Structure 1
Amino acid sequence: MVDAPAVSPAVAANDALARGNLQLADYLCREALRENPQDALAMSLLGHMASGLRRYQLADAWFTRALSLRPDSGEIGAWRDRAREMAQAARALAASTAPKALARPRYLLIKAWGYGFWSDMDHVVGQLLLAELTGRTPVVHWGANTLFGAEGVANAFELFFRPVSGATQDGLAAWGQSFFPAKWTAATLRDENVNKFQGPGSRTSALHLLARDEDVVVSDFHGKVVDLIGWIEPDSPWHGLDYPTIYRRLYAKYVQLQPALQARVDAFANERMAGRRWVAVHVRGSDKITELRDLELVNAQYQHRIDRMLQADPAMGIFLLTDSEHFAREYRQKYGERVLAADVARSSDATGVHYAGHEGRKLGEEVVMDAHLAARCDAFLGNGASNVSTAIRHLKDWAPGSYELIGNDFLTMPNLMLHRW
């Protein structure tokens, strides 16, 4: 039996684009260009996507690159010329001094992804970048599908953070006249998990929302900052920024603790952490073993790195963040009084803490406090495949060399699994 020839990423991207799977097409085109920087098909596909998304400067640039490799292609030349015409028209419209009617406001409703706390927050921050790029007012609403809600609380996000704007989901349902994707209407806007994974409007990525004209667009499917970085046009204030800078600016602008929760963080830090240098150490256990096959190898690398820090600063304390009772015991036995850990829910087996039946609001408060207390420390050591570890990077401006991850930072990686269906 002869194996079928492998399909190149660019050919697979062309198929994904034909099926309307914009995010997968984007991932595959960029994979093709990493394998072969001269792949004109991938460049042309990105040019077509950029044109469809009204990113005409990007379309011009991609078609120009493709044409440099295929100078005799009249088709690519025509596509480039059309992109240039559209870019010029867009610039002329923006610069026009003619009186303009007051623009109707537009909104981006960011619903809960519905999984781990900082996974949900990563989705929120990715969509906040989308709001910035599209001029929409963001509204974050964590409804009944969040794992961190409380009885009688309609929007669990605001249990932990201040609203990101003055608009609300109820207000959008009453005001909006047009919605996208079409599964959302004034009548369904308060529902959760509507065709999230299958059916019309399912797996809607941020790219699907970039060039919409509807009053309200709704994001309920996980999207990352890295998904949008390649679509930031040169005239945007976000252009040219690396992903940590983008995250940090978005956190600083939008993600503010509720005053009562901020007071609890301050009180813990003042009472138990003042007057000592600290390294925050985040060690994953429980259900992470099902996501990260080499978790044991990752966890085995912590202690020699901690020991190196303690040799350099013998008085340093260890602020331990872990979801595992096993690791809490192990670190206390090895490091004794150096270890400080908040009294939080932990797991003694492979069940994730957020799936173990704990009260959602309390669990969310514990997770938020742990992360913000870690950001009060002088150094940090964590797991590059963990949303908790990667979120802590963006809660403050860490001194150079003071923030360290074991393993690659997964925020830099596309999540192909979510879009391969």
Structure 2
Amino acid sequence: MPNDRFLLIKAWSYILWEDVKHVLGQLLIAELTDRIPVVYWPTHCLHNGFVYTNGFELYFEPISNYTIFDIVKPEYTYYPPVWDHDNLLVEDQSKETWIYRNIGEIMSSNANVVVSDVYFDVYKLIPFIKKSHSAYGMTVQQIYRYLFNKYIKIKQDINIEIEGFYNSWLKDDRPVLAVHVRRVDKDQVFDLDNYKKNNFKGSTQSYSENQKNSMGKHVKIYKLRKKRKALEPNKIYHEEISKYIEKYNVKKIFLLTDCEETLKEYQQKYGSMVVSTECKRIPIDGEASYMENPMVKRRRGIEIIKDTYLAAKCDFFIGNDFSSLSHAVTNIQEWPNNNIRLLYYLFKKRKYPVNVELLACRKKSIFRVITEWIKKLFKKD
């Protein structure tokens, strides 16, 4: 591999596992273009509170032997052309315009340093994979697992915490079902009668494109017989949990949640079966705090990684198909299809998250349709 061709992978979002997924896709690009990957998450990232510190390396081992400071050289060329050796550490506020950032331009550039700060799903890169590459012939899910296992190595202190908790609370009480329940999003209410008018701004893009390869279980909601009644967020979890308990004699439920009320709900319903880590959780009506000191911010990141890896060590997993954390759990290890469920609601081929409120009308019967038609005829007369 040439030592003067680099791919600088900058942060894409403010969410830890979203950025890791972004890194995985870019690492595939680095392999396909014979470039040395350099990952740099700057200070503004949600989980990096240290000035001039690479946020990625607060949690994970370096991807290569190079840092961003090794590729800041006046003699180097850079792509996109907005970059040069003087501004490589700053954020490009216009990146959302995607100028000079399509896959073809990124893949074909001859610059010494290609900077990638936008997201490409792996499925878009499959046409570029040659037969000689290790990922040739793999599914999207298999490619993500290949990249994750090859590159993502957590720091030793975090791994020690994970192993200690697992050996103390989960190892001897198998089988264990891990359940990831996101806090209810009260700002999102979907009226399914007018579903085309909905404009959900969550993380749909990352995963809707993987629907054909999804191992998750969807719940069709257009068959409901409830007239204009809201489907309660996250209630579908209990039905799935009951199935696993009955079928596999689950001994423990490892709960991952960012909500205080959810933890209390599960403790009341399942009692001593529920196991959870000590971490910061938010009231259902509360807001996340981003103004924390650097050590606390790293701790928040560790809590997320710890829960994720512990879930991956369990025997079964139920998660949210709209969650980057849930998808990270599926990438860490190879899961049998029957051992994992990523839940979402499905209405007229459109996916909706299970942690939002949905309004559904009663499906009209043939008798009702005919009756209404007859009434209209009489009104015309």
Same fold by TM-score, threshold 0.5 exceeded? yes
Structure 1 residues 207 and 374: CA distance shift in structure 2, 3 A? farther
Aligned with residue 272 of structure 2, among 319, 337, 342: 337
Partner of 1:42: none
Partner of 1:280: 178
Deviation at 1:353, TM superposition (A): 3.5
Q: Distance in 2 between matches of 1:296 and 1:205?
A: 40
After TM superposition, the structure 1 = structure 2 runs for residues 259-298 of structure 1, keeping only pairs within 5 Å, are 259-277=156-174, 278-287=176-185, 290=188, 291=201
Task: Describe the SS at the equivalent of 1:346.
Answer: coil
Partner of 1:256: 153
2:33 aligned with 1:114: no
Deviation at 1:308, TM superposition (A): 1.4
Deviation at 1:349, TM superposition (A): 3.4
Q: Distance in 2 between matches of 1:166 and 1:267?
A: 30
Per-residue CA deviations over 1:378-413 (Å, capped at 9, x if unaligned) read 11000111111111101112234212111289xxx9
After TM superposition, the structure 1 = structure 2 runs for residues 18-417 of structure 1, keeping only pairs within 5 Å, are 103=2, 105-152=4-51, 154-174=53-73, 177-198=76-97, 202=99, 204-277=101-174, 278-287=176-185, 290=188, 291=201, 299-349=234-284, 353=288, 355=290, 359-407=296-344
Structure 1 residues 138 and 309: CA distance shift in structure 2, 3 A? same
Structure 1 residues 205 and 352: CA distance shift in structure 2, 3 A? farther
Deviation at 1:329, TM superposition (A): 1.3
Whether the 8 Å CA contact 1:110–1:124 is kept in 2: the answer is: yes
Letter paired with 2:115: V
Task: Describe the SS at the equivalent of 1:213.
Answer: coil
Per-residue CA deviations over 1:297-336 (Å, capped at 9, x if unaligned) read 6622110110111123445200001111221111111011
Deviation at 1:205, TM superposition (A): 4.3
Q: Distance in 2 between matches of 1:191 and 1:299?
A: 40
Q: Distance in 1 between matches of 2:291 and 2:319?
A: 23
Q: Distance in 2 between matches of 1:351 and 1:387?
A: 21
Whether the 8 Å CA contact 2:251–2:273 is kept in 1: the answer is: yes
Q: What is the root-mean-square deviation in Å for CA atoms of aligned residues? A: 2.7
Normalised by the length of structure 2, the TM-score is 0.74
Letter paired with 2:182: R
Whether the 8 Å CA contact 2:178–2:314 is kept in 1: the answer is: yes
Structure 1 residues 289 and 166: CA distance shift in structure 2, 3 A? farther
Whether the 8 Å CA contact 1:162–1:255 is kept in 2: the answer is: yes
Structure 1 residues 351 and 296: CA distance shift in structure 2, 3 A? farther
Whether the 8 Å CA contact 1:109–1:140 is kept in 2: the answer is: yes
Deviation at 1:285, TM superposition (A): 1.4
For structure 2, list consecutive stretches of 5 or more residues without a partner in the other structure: 189-200, 205-220, 222-229, 351-381
Deviation at 1:340, TM superposition (A): 0.7
Structure 1 residues 136 and 115: CA distance shift in structure 2, 3 A? same
Q: Distance in 2 between matches of 1:123 and 1:183?
A: 21
Structure 1 residues 180 and 364: CA distance shift in structure 2, 3 A? same
Deviation at 1:350, TM superposition (A): 5.4
Letter paired with 2:122: V
Q: Distance in 1 between matches of 2:75 and 2:156?
A: 31
Per-residue CA deviations over 1:30-53 (Å, capped at 9, x if unaligned) read xxxxxxxxxxxxxxxxxxxxxxxx
Structure 1 residues 103 and 124: CA distance shift in structure 2, 3 A? closer
Whether the 8 Å CA contact 1:148–1:364 is kept in 2: the answer is: yes
Structure 1 stretch 322-331 or stretch 175-184: which is displaced more? 175-184
Whether the 8 Å CA contact 2:244–2:250 is kept in 1: the answer is: no
Structure 1 residues 160 and 354: CA distance shift in structure 2, 3 A? farther
Task: Describe the SS at the equivalent of 1:174.
Answer: coil
Structure 1 residues 205 and 342: CA distance shift in structure 2, 3 A? farther
Deviation at 1:265, TM superposition (A): 0.7
Structure 1 residues 351 and 247: CA distance shift in structure 2, 3 A? farther
Q: Greater RCO between the two (CA within 8 Å, min separation 6)?
A: 2
Give the total of aligned pairs. Answer: 307
Deviation at 1:194, TM superposition (A): 4.0
Deviation at 1:153, TM superposition (A): 5.3
Structure 1 residues 110 and 408: CA distance shift in structure 2, 3 A? farther
More strand by share: 2
Whether the 8 Å CA contact 1:110–1:139 is kept in 2: the answer is: yes
Task: Describe the SS at the equivalent of 1:271.
Answer: helix
